[in-house]
């Protein structure tokens, strides 16, 4: 995602990058960075939880709780990824 962000910034002409000022573009940059970090953290937690559940011998109720945690993390990952995608589309739309 960050590579796409850098490519997006490099596609702007030099004078446009220098004179774009503050505004919506800066807010979108900050939002995209925050959402990307949230997505990376959720993916990391999901992987750790999946590995932990595979290697542990959990009781029945613990397996249910672990499955619920994984489903919850999957929802967070999907939501964060869709938000990243939405922000990137908004940035592309604004850049032309």
- For the chain, give every domain's residue range: 2-95
**For residues 49 and 73, is the Cβ–Cβ distance under 8 A?**
yes
DSSP letters for 30-51: HHHHHHHHHHHHHHHHHHHHHH
Q: Cα 79 vs. chain centroid, distance in angstroms?
A: 8
Q: Write out pLDDT tens, residues 9-37.
A: 444 444 444 445 556 667 777 878 888 88
Q: Is the dihedral of CA 22, 23, 24, 29 positive or negative?
A: positive
In whole angstroms, what is the distance from residue 1 CA to residue 48 CA?
Answer: 22
Verdict on whether the full-model pTM lies above 0.75? no
Compute the average pLDDT of residues 60-77. 89
CA–CA separation, 58 vs 44, rounded Å? 21
């Amino acid at each position: 995602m960050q590579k796409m962000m850098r490519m997006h910034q490099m596609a702007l002409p030099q004078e446009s990058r220098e004179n774009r000022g503050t505004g919506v573009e800066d807010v979108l940059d900050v939002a995209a960075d925050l959402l990307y970090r949230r997505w990376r953290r959720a993916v990391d937690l999901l992987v750790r939880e999946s590995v932990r559940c595979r290697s542990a011998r959990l009781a029945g109720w613990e397996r249910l709780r672990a499955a619920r945690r994984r489903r919850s993390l999957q929802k967070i990952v999907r939501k964060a990824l869709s938000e990243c995608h939405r922000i990137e589309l908004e940035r592309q739309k604004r850049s032309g």
